[in-house]
Chain A
């Protein structure tokens, strides 16, 4: 372990709570995001336990509404949206571009405090009346009729939105103005491109949900009438405004995970990423096109059929850049030296599960089909395949991959592989039956169901308990590894990014001397400093020996 690094540079609680070091802020986020993940997981457990029987023995209908609402609100706003950007993005982006910190370190810390305050507001509302409107807060139920703590919850989400906006702002400006000499746009790691695209979505989308929730809160508290039919207002307007953000929000959740995968696959296939420029462009395309598909959440509201056709078409178009990325990742594997370290296991899991989740999105985007499967468990399965099978796999893969950099120590490899398998199996048992339930017609957000659906619900709940173990294991061993794991060294994999040229854990200022970049991204063949077993000579690129992790 190096003598001096960002973890032991200064001591005391003030040095953590008042830090402006992006790496410490990332760890602050890790702690708070994990806390909210547990809370969201608790609500998930309540849902799945209740759904073991068709007549719901565990919860009253009102309580059930609160469970799925608070599960959604917590997981979407307090786990999925911040997770990779605020933890891995914060930690890695400055190092990956050769900078000492983000452009606005104090705003970065403010971002975290805003997240915490928003989270506490929302938490308070959860224990003081709860929230039963669905995470989508549809009006007029949320504004006029719900008896739950809508106003404080909405305020909490509103506040947390600013955390997202400030993080996105920080990332955008940092990538523009803080790159080290020689770090041109097309030498940037795709992780950075992914976060750049994500930041565009954060900046352009989040303010719209802010005003939407603000208007809903003002309607509930002060009697403004935009969504109130009695005054001539339109609940569908709320849905337009809500989904204008909330659809791009799902790209906030998946783009960073795709960025992680773009780092993992070249590293563990020992091969340059296939089609770097296309993957970078695809990230931007997803961000942009993602803004013009939102009414596919509203196909059954009575909206204009002509508009629905246009949005359905655009929904099919937005799948194309994702497909391009998936093909490029797969092409990267072809002819590579593949090793199955834990991060790579998560990457493989991502590839398969994201593909299923993404393709089922196309079923939902088809107008005729959507009439039958809208608001059924098909939708629930679809988005869990992408958000858990995709985003969370990316998150865990990234955590494992960069854990040695963050802590200076390796996690236990075999235990981690077992945990990854448990997670994969548990995940599929939880959510695949839900596709079947959806096609059979089981509606979502209902506290009871016809008895013929029970077998699949029981399977799903059983799977969820296995999935829970798959989540708990990394939390335990990653924490253990941070203190007692094997010392990792600068570059245990080895991987090609600039972050692997610093010590593990890095110095507070990241680099003693500002690096000058002269190499391309993922270029395993021209990096003698990595001491890889590279066949010499011109002609065919030759195969590089596989990654060896901690051996």
Chain B
């Protein structure tokens, strides 16, 4: 079963130009957003914008949009495994009752539930 029968899709310089301008604009927005007090959502916004930028680079600059299904699976697997590493480890820290005097939001919810039970 040969999976490599696809003609090469050539992305035009025009598309690349649009993408780089978008990336630069998003960079500007990131910096601007950093100076707005969004409390604990500052990091969320920053990561969201970074992820949009990364997605544009992967899809267009790295041609993932035009790549075979197999490549897309590899990319998704990589992202999923990174998420596994981060979230499964955080599942330990985030559910400890008291880690270095810092309570993660999840821990606070659990602790409140336990306290209310008595």
Contact = CB atoms under 8 A, between A and B. Distances in A.
Q: Does A touch B (CB under 8 Å) in the complex?
A: yes
Interface of A: 176-177, 179, 184-185, 204, 208, 232, 237, 240-241, 244, 291-292, 294-295, 303-307, 310
A204 B96 contact: no
B110 A292 contact: no
Interface stretch (B20-28, B40-48, B87-95): B87-95
B92 A185 contact: no
A291 B77 CA distance: 13
A291 B84 contact: yes
A304 B81 contact: no
A240 B89 contact: yes
Contacts, number: 42
Nearest to B88: A292
A420 to B, nearest CB: 39
Contact of B110 (A295, A303, A306): A306
A237 B88 CA distance: 12
B92 A295 contact: yes
B49 to A, nearest CB: 25
A304 B93 contact: yes
A391 to B, nearest CB: 24
Interface of B: 1-4, 70, 77-78, 81, 84-85, 88-89, 91-97, 100, 110
A83 to B, nearest CB: 25
Given A291-B81, A292-B84, A177 B4 contact: yes
- Most A Cβ at <10 Å: residue of B70, B85, B96, B100: B85
5 contacts: A176-B3, A232-B100, A237-B89, A292-B84, A304-B92
Nearest to A177: B4
Given A204-B81, A244-B85, A292-B84, A307 B4 contact: no
Q: Chain B's interface: helix, strand, loop or mixed, by majority? A: helix
A41 B81 CA distance: 35
Contacts of B94: 304
A295 B96 CA distance: 14
Nearest to A182: B1
A82 to B, nearest CB: 23
Given A185-B1, A292-B84, A292-B88, A176 B70 contact: yes
Contacts of B77: 204
Contacts of B70: 176
Given A292-B84, A304-B95, A304-B96, A244 B1 contact: no
- Most A Cβ at <10 Å: residue of B2, B92, B93, B97: B92
B91 A307 contact: yes
Contacts of A185: 1
B11 to A, nearest CB: 24
A292 to B, nearest CB: 6
B99 to A, nearest CB: 9
B4 A306 contact: no
Contacts of A305: 95
Contacts of A237: 89
By Cβ-Cβ distance, the 7 closest A-B pairs, closest first, are A304-B95, A307-B92, A306-B95, A304-B96, A240-B89, A303-B92, A204-B81
Contacts of A176: 3, 70
Contacts of B93: 304
- Most B Cβ at <10 Å: residue of A185, A244, A295, A307: A307
B3 A240 contact: no
Given A176-B70, A303-B96, 18 more contacts: A177-B3, A204-B77, A237-B89, A240-B89, A240-B92, A244-B85, A244-B89, A292-B84, A294-B88, A303-B92, A304-B91, A304-B94, A304-B96, A304-B97, A305-B95, A306-B95, A306-B110, A307-B95
